[in-house]
Amino acid sequence: MNNNRALKLFLLVSLLLNFSIIAAAGYFYYRENFCSVTARAEKRQAAFAKKLGLSPEQREMMGQEEQRFRSAAEGARKELIEKRKGLLKVLSEEEPDRAAIDTILSEIVATQGRIEAQAVEHILNEKSVLDKEQKARFMGLLEKRLGAHSHAGRRGFVQ
């Protein structure tokens, strides 16, 4: 009788362990494939391509342009983060140096300007791949996106 109970308990623990491992694997798979920044970007790009009615060749060209833009903008974004950290460091001093603050602010504005210029160049490159009807839809989507961000307090072409 005790062997039977021990066996049932062992089977129950084994089932619970197996279930928890499968659940954890499913969770990490879901998080990686559906919640990551890359997955969201891919979904957004697929929806964008569908709304514009892109051909496979256009999708390929737009994908290459997207990669080029992301890699170019990433360096500027990292630079912007570092400049903001530097600004915070100066601001946290007992008596912040106003000249240093002004210098850092000028650098931040210049970096933001570079990011915006890269975004505009990206838009022009994407637009050059489209036909006349697609360009009209593209500009409509862009206007809608910028309008939505301006209400949320965001400015510019880059999220």
Domain with residue 83: its CATH number is: 1.20.120.1490
Residue 96 lies in a domain: yes
Asked if 157 contacts 123 with a C-beta cutoff of 8 angstroms, the reply is yes
Nearest-angstrom CA–CA distance, 64 and 57: 11
What pLDDT score was predicted for residue 130? 92
Residue 20 lies in a domain: no
Domain count for the chain, please give it. 1
Residue 13 lies in a domain: no
Residue 93 lies in a domain: yes
Which tops the pLDDT comparison, 129 or 40?
129
Residue 14 lies in a domain: no
**Mean pLDDT value across the chain:** 85
Q: Helix crossing, 98-127 with 132-151: angle to 10°? A: 150
Residue 99 lies in a domain: yes
Residue 80 lies in a domain: yes
Is 0.85 surpassed by the pTM of this model? Answer: no
Residue 35 predicted with pLDDT over 80: no
Domain coverage including residue 140: 55-151
Nearest-angstrom CA–CA distance, 144 and 148: 6
Residue 144 lies in a domain: yes
Closest CA relative to residue 70, chosen from 47, 45, 53, 50: 45
